[in-house]
Amino acid sequence: MMNQNQIFLKTPLGTARISGDEEGIWAIQILDEQIPTSTEIPDFLQPAAQQLNDYFKGELQEFSLKLNPKGTNFQQKVWKALSEIPFGKTCSYLELSRKLGDEKAVRAVASANGKNPLWVVIPCHRVIGSDRSLTGYAGGLHRKQWLLNHENNTSQLSMF
């Protein structure tokens, strides 16, 4: 029997598990195992599935979903700040800490970033090291690089 609070969606980076209910989406995770795409999608999960598909097709730059992630007040504050990083842009953990008002909190900010339950929708992949290097990413650095490349689609640049 299917869990009515989650669906599976094929993406270019693997299978995404989307979990939520009428109150909002509480988790989107990328899985390493291949699970068939869900054929029955509850109404409250349809917008998330559609918007993720549109994002990966290059047709969506900003998600507009009802979100309900579970976390501490500090984590919620970090995740809100992450959501404000524009599509195609990056910032460092230090810059994010400064934005939140305490540059000494860089490790706590990095920890909250790593606990982001909403893969891609809350764009933790847009946070990089102060030296502009790719740093830890729960979904794997290859996925982080892919997402950053996707958002800075160089194939759209003119060759002339």
**Partners of residue 24 on adjacent β-strands:** 21
- Rg for the chain, CA atoms, rounded: 16
Backbone angles phi, psi at 145, to 5 degrees: -60, -45
pLDDT at 146 over 50: yes
* pLDDT of amino acid 107: 92
Dump pLDDT digits (tens) for 78-131.
Answer: 999 999 999 999 999 999 999 999 989 999 999 999 999 999 999 999 999 888
Give me the active site residues, please: 124
What percentage of the chain exceeds 70 in pLDDT?
A: 94
Q: Would you list the domain boundaries of the chain?
A: 6-56, 73-155
Please check whether residue 158 is in contact with residue 136, taking contact to mean a CB–CB distance below 8 angstroms.
no
Over residues 35-40, mean pLDDT: 93
HSE-CB for 6 with a 13 A CA cutoff: 16
Least confident of 8-17, 30-39, 132-141: 132-141
What does pTM read for this prediction?
Answer: 0.89
Which residue, chain included where needed, has tokens 């989406």?
A: 25
pLDDT at 27 over 60: yes
For residue 109, how many other CB atoms are within 10 A of its CB? Answer: 26
pLDDT at 1 over 50: no
Q: Are strands 14-21 and 6-11 parallel, antiparallel or unpaired?
A: antiparallel
CATH code linked to domain 73-155: 1.10.10.10
Look at the alpha carbons of 85, 120, 12, 33 in this order and tell me if their dihedral is positive or negative: positive
Nearest one of 104, 107, 110 to 124, comparing CA atoms? 110
* pLDDT of amino acid 138: 76
pLDDT at 46 over 80: yes
* Paired tokens of 104: 């000494």
